[in-house]
Amino acid sequence: MPQIAGTEDFEAHLDRAVALDARLGGVAQVLRAIAVASIEMSGLIGLGRLYGRLGDSRASTNTDGDVQKELDVLANDLFVSAFKRAPVAAVVSEEMSEPLVLDPACLLVVAMDPLDGSSNIDANVSIGTIFSILPVLADANGAEAHFLQPGRTQIAAGFVIYGPQTSLVFALGSGQTQIFTLDRRAGRFYQAVSAPVVASECAEYAINASNYRHWDTPIRAFIDDCEQGTEGPLKRNHNMRWTGSLVADAYRILLRGGIFLYPGDQRAGYMDGRLRLLYEANPVAFIIERAGGKASDCLRPILDIVPSAIHARIPLVFGSPAAVELVARYHSDLQFSAEHAPLFGKRGLMRL
């Protein structure tokens, strides 16, 4: 089967970007390192149990307090090794409690979730590597300071999804989002979708509905309205998808629209939701915004938020702009939220 004629390969794409803006030279080297490491990751994941018990839990836990899976640690080591061969000053990872300093003379830092969705490894569901590339701060007081910048300062960001296809989804510099897919026969990534645009409207929502009883009223009201379909105030039927893998939901929304919600809720430790600002919300927000979508913490644009700590959590809502704006209205206008909630009569504004 020949490669689809005319599709640009990843190397040529980066060369062209650097030719247009020489300042992107260092970032291009980091992206090349991510691509090479992800090809190795893709091969290991593709073997599944033939490679080993990748989904087995280890005695160790990560910053989440989550038990680490074999593949979490393997992925972290693999990408850290890759960044040692690239112009990277320091790395923050979900699998490491502190920043890892590599070459302090370099001008870039990388925050990553080396393997997101690891609870899906043994279920053979798409999982991913999520990355955020930031410029170092000239006056930083310690390695951590470089990472406490709002996501709008990212120079490049995105994720690799290890699914039926292994695809590298990223935005670089001021460019639009790009999707490059791995041709295993050649061992190279080729452009699959140039500048995808997130559909402005949304007929599909992604949320873990088992947490309904823990949600605040605005989220309940929005989901209730989605479930009311054409009989409700949104006047359209909705479908629901929840893969339990951020990169899989993000990839689907990038290509067919929809809205993803992981709000804060009343469970212990979930006041700010489950997802991390630095290496999950910011990279996803970066590629979604560059594709015409929106990303918020239910109210504020994700990319404007200054992280309070390197592993800080943040509520995350992203996807079709009209839907993200509507969720913000349910939060900013509680009267609107209350009047919209068809079950308003059965509950007050705030949960008892």
With beta carbons less than 8 A apart as the criterion, state whether 53 and 15 touch. no
Residue 310 burial (10 A CB sphere; 0-12, 13-18, 19+) = buried
- Contact flags string 8-47 toward ligand AFP, x per CB under 6 A: ----------------------------------------
Whole-angstrom CA distances from 1 to 59, 134, 183, 279, 287 are: 45, 39, 11, 37, 31
The β-bridge partners of 113 are 130
Q: How far is the CB of 38 from ligand AFP (least distance, A)?
A: 17
The β-bridge partners of 57 are 69
Q: How far is the CB of 120 from ligand AFP (least distance, A)?
A: 6
Q: How far is the CB of 162 from ligand AFP (least distance, A)?
A: 13
The active-site residue out of 74, 94, 224, 261 is 94
Instruction: Please report whether residue 265 would count as binding ligand AFP according to CB under 6 A.
Output: no
95 is catalytic: yes
Q: How far is the CB of 114 from ligand AFP (least distance, A)?
A: 10
Instruction: Please report whether residue 116 would count as binding ligand AFP according to CB under 6 A.
Output: yes
Handedness of CA 59, 60, 65, 71 (dihedral sign): negative
Q: How far is the CB of 16 from ligand AFP (least distance, A)?
A: 32
Dist CA 318 CA 89 (whole Å): 30
What is 264-325 written as a DSSP string?
A: --SSTT-TT-SSBIIIIIHHHHHHHHTTT-EEESSSSBGGGPPPSSTT-B--EEEESHHHHH
297 is catalytic: no
Q: Which of 29, 76, 154, 245 binds ligand AFP (CB under 6 A)?
A: 245
277 is catalytic: no
72 is catalytic: yes
With beta carbons less than 8 A apart as the criterion, state whether 128 and 117 touch. yes
Three-state DSSP class for residue 138: coil
Q: Which of 7, 57, 63, 119 binds ligand AFP (CB under 6 A)?
A: 119
79-87, 167-175, 241-249, 343-351 -> range binding ligand AFP (CB under 6 A): 241-249
113 is catalytic: yes
Q: Which of 96, 208, 301, 342 binds ligand AFP (CB under 6 A)?
A: 208
Site for ligand AFP in 212-231 (CB under 6 A): none
Residue type (1 letter), 78: L
Dist CA 206 CA 246 (whole Å): 10
Instruction: Please report whether residue 63 would count as binding ligand AFP according to CB under 6 A.
Output: no
21 is catalytic: no
249 is catalytic: no
Q: How far is the CB of 280 from ligand AFP (least distance, A)?
A: 7
- Contact flags string 270-299 toward ligand AFP, x per CB under 6 A: ----xx------------------------
Dist CA 146 CA 68 (whole Å): 26
Residue 345: CB atoms within 10 A of its CB come to: 7
Site for ligand AFP in 64-103 (CB under 6 A): 66
CA nearest 330: which of 233, 209, 252? 233
With beta carbons less than 8 A apart as the criterion, state whether 108 and 87 touch. yes
117-125, 165-173, 222-230, 300-308 -> range binding ligand AFP (CB under 6 A): 117-125
Q: Which CB sits closer to ligand AFP, 191 or 211? A: 211
Phi and psi at residue 251, to the nearest 5°: -65, -45
Instruction: Please report whether residue 57 would count as binding ligand AFP according to CB under 6 A.
Output: no
Dist CA 113 CA 284 (whole Å): 12
Three-state DSSP class for residue 238: coil
11-19, 187-195, 242-250, 304-312 -> range binding ligand AFP (CB under 6 A): 242-250
Scanning the structure block, which residue is given the tokens 């489950």? 274
- Contact flags string 120-139 toward ligand AFP, x per CB under 6 A: x-------------------
Task: Give the largest CA-CA distance in the chain.
Answer: 62
Residues marked as catalytic: 66, 72, 94-95, 113, 115-116, 280
Question: What residues line the site for ligand AFP (CB under 6 A)?
Answer: 66, 116-120, 208, 244-246, 274-275
